[in-house]
Chains A and B, each alone.
Chain A
Amino acid sequence: MATSTIVERPALVRQKRFSETYIGQWLTTTDHKKIGIMYMVTAFFFFVVGGLEALLIRTQLALPDGKVLDPQTYNEIFTMHGTTMIFLFVMPMFTGLGNYVVPLMIGARDMAFPRLNAFGYWIVLFGGLFLQSSFLFHAAPDGGWFAYAPLTECGVQGVNCIPATPSINMDFWALGVLLLGISSIAGALNFVVTIFKLRAPGMTINRMPLFVWMTLVTSFLLLFALPSLTAASGLLLLDRHLGTHFYQAAFNGDPLLWQHLFWSFGHPEVYILILPAFGIVSEVLPVFSRKPIFGYTFVAWSGVAIGFLSFTVWAHHMFAVGLPVVAQAFFATSTTLIAIPTAVKIFNWLATLYGGKLSFKTPMLFALGFVAMFLIGGLNGVALAIVPFDYQVTDSYFVIAHLHYVLFGGAVFAIFAAIFYWFPKMTGKLLNERLGQIQFWLMLIGVNVTFFPMHILGLLGMPRRIYTYAPDLGWNELNLLETVGAFIIAAAILVFLFNFVTSLRQGQPAGSDPWDAFTLEWDTASPPEPYNFKTIPVVRSRRPFYDKKNPETADWKVAVH
């Protein structure tokens, strides 16, 4: 049967169960939309936590010989800033968005495994609280977000081991990422099965919205990359507590093993953090240009190409450790190759804008900001792939500039594009447009004031992760400027929080389709009913909702899809 219909039954009058009270509905839910919202709220909470940590870092570095944080605390703060932003903000945020949007976009009633979905969420919440609780024990992880052995070796003294970090700080980190990994695997296999098996009739692979495509690629990356992190941190825990010698050079072990294992997770990971952003931008740009995406096939398959290539580039994080020349040449080449599918996407987005009727609403502004900022981050990333240049700037602020342009200018801008775009679907209210515009411009200025000077500081030789610096190194003015920029970003986030709270309470009603959008999630009420679609839609092109609204010029009549 191609379609099925819902029979709504009158509710019987009886005592409410716990799962029917307001709190209980959230705590016991297996509805992908509720779980998605919980993921996003949790992720945003951790974004604020990680942001406060960033402000502490910038305050400490504002002036030379800073005294705000002592060195140990500084180590803990920058480690937790990176760990929080990556594992507790960007990843759960994209999982949450995917949870909410993907089943709606493909015309499904829920994810394939609703209870596994809820399990994944609760693990993220408690894994995140577990990691952050380390502050309460004065034992926050302090080895950096990539936790290089042997700096992180040996929790227990005595068993044939030279303790480098004898307290339990890094145990929090290793156990925390193991927990979060379980959640990500659960989420990823749920997405893969949902996307493969639960698409509405006619929603072929080549008609799926690009956000669904990118979520699919991301999920495969998670399934195949996270095991490396699981293995790496498992071996670290064994070294620290059982007295094994995997990363201990003194016992024939090899600290480089950690780097290989970690980065063979870590590099696919950075695409896990950016591919869903590509998907969001590929949804937002067409709607606000009033055109279909340019070169759908290329945008989709370049994402797949990036996914494959991302497994072949890990050692570009390790040029400075003294790899064989052949290996360096290989990893420099594969890294440069990734620029090709990425540039394919950029040009497709530009071509989508070309000749369109652009409307500069907030989601569009953030999507455009994404393209511009990500382009800078991509270009300085390619620079880092050039081995001699990498020798010069590795572990300097140049790297910090690169990763913040792709992760803040990239992922965070796309996340705000998504929030402004889908907030009306989730709540039935529009976010305030004027506040959104103010937030966008503050963020754009803040990001560039904060992160652009880092390029120069890196070239001037400022190493990353130093807790302070002497006043006569020529770094003073730029560091102060960066700190000012960080507080501009903080102001932008405050504007957003204000906008969020006021719009939730008294925002303008959105209706079911405020953007005149193209894809199926807008073919539901705002917010959608628990079962999403009364009748499962039948899809005939890549823009099913556009077809429904414009039967005369429907895509399937005028174009071959």
Chain B
Amino acid sequence: MSVAYREGIPALEQVHDEGGRSLGWWGMMFFIASEALIFANLIAAYLYLEIRQGGHGWRLPSEIWYPLINTIILLGSSAPIHYIAARGIEKGSQRRLIWGLLATIVMGAIFLGGQVYEYSSLISQGFTPQSQLFGSAFFTLTGFHGLHVTVGLIFLLIVFVRALNGHFTKERHFAFQAGEMYWHFVDAVWIFVFSIVYLLPLLRG
């Protein structure tokens, strides 16, 4: 903390408090905005390359059902962290915080496992990042998202361990809140990635 903190000066937020969201909330928000722009750039690159290649649409050699179920699991994982964990800790319930986090972490891990399974089946069909441009674009975009799911899971696991140790109270639980924000972001951005990679080719028929 700053020197001012140590000398017993009221915390920055108290000095300037104008109500509204905390500093951390805003910081996290702008960080997420910047992350979202990386995804936007990768999606733009994906579409650009697809169109430049003739615009016939890039279709995966596999069925859509498996990724669709995976998508439902990932999007569903936002529910327990919000409706159980966040609502719980706002009322001071440690138990609901822990169980909500656990449910989300498990669902996130299932998604990640599903992605690994999908990758391995694609690679066994000869569809790899090196085999063709579509492979490069597909594995990079979904892989970058998978990386974010992984980071989000690590984030939530740390929060989970801290929750087990009782670090969070009704008033003070920003680390949890930041983790929740990040997880929602990872979910929301998947909607875009999924739409571009899996749904768009279906539209073209």
Partners in one complex: yes
Which of B27, B33, B137, B139 has most A Cβ within 10 Å? Answer: B27
Check A192 for interface membership: any CB of B closer than 8 A.
yes
- Residue B204 CB within 8 A of the other chain: no
Residues 208-234 of A, flagged 1 when their CB comes within 8 A of B and 0 if not, give: 000000000000000110111011101
**A-B contacts at CB below 8 angstroms, number:** 144
Residue of A nearest to B52 (CB): A254
Residue of A nearest to B48 (CB): A257
Alpha-carbon gap, A228 to B41, bound state (A): 6
Q: How far is the CB of A18 from chain B (nearest CB, A)?
A: 15
Q: Identify which of residues 1-33 in chain B touch chain A, using a CB-to-CB cut-off of 8 Å.
A: 1-4, 7-10, 12, 14-16, 18, 23, 26-27, 30-31, 33
Q: Is B76 an interface residue (CB 8 A)?
A: no
Complex: how many Å from CA A244 to CA B137? 8
- In the bound complex, what is the Cα–Cα distance between A114 and B4 (angstroms)? 11
CA distance A328 to B161 in the complex (A): 56
How far apart are A253's CB and chain B's nearest CB, in angstroms? Answer: 6
Least CB distance, B182 to chain A, in whole angstroms: 14
Task: Chain B residues near A232: list those with CB within 8 A.
Answer: 41
Residues of A within 8 A of B38 (CB): 227, 230-231
- Tell me if B7 and A254 are in contact (CB < 8 A): no
The answer to whether B140 and A238 touch across the interface, beta carbons within 8 angstroms, is yes
A108 and B41 CA atoms in complex are apart in Å by: 35
Establish whether residues A224 and B2, one from each chain, have CB atoms under 8 Å apart when the complex forms. Answer: no
User: At the interface with chain B, which of A2-10, A76-84, A90-98, A374-382?
Assistant: A2-10
Q: Does A196 contact B (CB under 8 A)?
A: yes
User: Scoring A residues 104 to 131 as 1 if CB is less than 8 Å from chain B, else 0, what string do you get?
Assistant: 0000111011111000000000000000
A429 at the interface (CB under 8 A from B): no
- Tell whether A448 is near chain B: CB-to-CB under 8 Å: no
Q: Does A261 lie within 8 Å of B41, measured CB to CB?
A: yes
Whether the pair A251, B133 counts as a contact (CB closer than 8 A) is yes
Does A21 belong to the interface (CB within 8 Å)?
no
Q: Does A550 contact B (CB under 8 A)?
A: no
CA gap between A227 and B86 in the complex, in Å? 30
> Residue A295 at the B interface, CB < 8 A?
no
- Minimal beta-carbon separation of A137 from chain B (angstroms): 28
List the A side residues contacting B4 at CB < 8 Å: 109-110, 530-532
Q: Within the assembled complex, what's the spacing in Å between the Cα atoms of A536 and B7?
A: 16
Does the CB pair A245–B136 fall under 8 Å?
A: yes
Interface: A454 (CB within 8 A): no
Chain B nearest CB from A500 CB (Å) reads 26
User: Which residue of chain A has its CB nearest to the CB of B25?
Assistant: A193
- Chain B residues positioned under 8 Å from A261 (CB to CB): 41, 45
Interface pair A199/B16, CB less than 8 Å apart: yes
- Contact check, B31 vs A189: say whether CB atoms are below 8 A apart: yes
Q: Inside 8 A of A200's CB, which chain B residues have their CB?
A: 16
Distance in Å: Cβ of B73 to nearest Cβ of chain A: 27
What is the distance, in angstroms, from A236's C-beta to the closest C-beta of chain B?
12
User: Residues of B contacting A185 with CB < 8 Å?
Assistant: 31, 34
Inter-subunit contact B49/A246 (CB<8 Å): yes
Complex CA distance for A76 and B15, rounded to whole angstroms: 51
The digit string for A18-32, where 1 denotes a CB below 8 A from any CB of B, is 000000000000111
Q: How large is the interface on A (under 10, 10 to 19, 20 to 34, 35 or more residues)?
A: 35 or more
Asked if A198 CB lies within 8 Å of chain B CBs, one says yes
Partner of B34, one of A30, A108, A224, A252: A224
B125 at the A interface (CB under 8 A): no
Kindly state whether residue B165 has any CB partner on chain A within 8 Å. no
Are the C-beta atoms of B45 and A223 separated by less than 8 Å? no
Cα(A8)–Cα(B7), bound, Å: 7
List, in ascending order, chain A residues with CB within 8 A of B144's CB: 234
State whether the Cβ of A548 lies closer than 8 Å to any Cβ in chain B. no
A243 at the interface (CB under 8 A from B): yes
Whether B137 pairs with A246 at a CB distance below 8 angstroms is yes
Q: Mark B108-148, 1 if CB is under 8 A from A, else 0.
A: 00000000000000000000011011011101100010000
Assuming the contacts A7-B8, A261-B41, asked whether A223 and B30 have C-beta atoms less than 8 A apart, the reply is yes
Given A227-B41, A231-B42, A238-B136, the answer on whether A109 and B9 have CB atoms closer than 8 Å is: yes
The smallest beta-carbon distance between A413 and chain B, in angstroms, is 31
Residue from B15, B53, B140 whose CB has the most chain A CB atoms within 10 Å? B15
Instruction: Indicate if the CB atoms of B26 and A109 lie closer than 8 Å.
Output: no
Asked if B203 lies at the interface with its beta carbon under 8 angstroms from chain A, I say no
B3: A residues at CB distance < 8 A? 30-31, 530-531
B185 to chain A, nearest CB (A): 14
- Min CB distance A455 to B, Å, is 35
Contact of A536 among B15, B49, B130, B133 (CB under 8 A): B15
CA of A30 to CA of B136, assembled, Å: 42
Residue from B2, B26, B45 within 8 A of A110 (CB atoms): B2
Once A193-B26, A238-B136 are accepted as A-B contacts, the answer to whether A9 and B45 lie under 8 Å apart by CB is no
Taken together as a complex, chains A and B put the C-alpha atoms of A509 and B7 apart, in Å, by 29
Q: Are A198 and B16 in contact (CB under 8 A)?
A: yes
B1-A246 in contact (CB<8A): no
Nearest neighbor of B10 in chain A, beta-carbon distance:
A4
| Cα-based distance from A192 to B31 in the complex (angstroms) | 11
Q: Does A159 contact B (CB under 8 A)?
A: yes
A245 engages B132 (CB within 8 Å): yes
Closest to B143 in A: A238
A185 to B37: give the CA distance in the assembly, Å: 12
10 contacts between A and B (CB under 8 A): A30-B3, A112-B23, A159-B130, A223-B34, A242-B129, A244-B139, A245-B132, A245-B133, A246-B140, A253-B49
> 7 other contacts beyond A199-B16, A200-B16, A531-B3, with CB at 8 A cut-off?
A114-B2, A185-B31, A189-B31, A189-B34, A224-B34, A230-B41, A245-B130
Q: Give the interface of A toward B (CB within 8 A).
A: 4, 6-9, 30-32, 108-110, 112-116, 159-160, 185, 188-190, 192-193, 196-200, 223-224, 226-228, 230-232, 234-235, 238, 242-246, 251-254, 257, 260-261, 264, 530-532, 536
The 10 closest A-B pairs by CB, nearest first: A244-B136, A227-B37, A231-B41, A530-B3, A189-B30, A531-B4, A243-B130, A227-B38, A110-B2, A252-B133
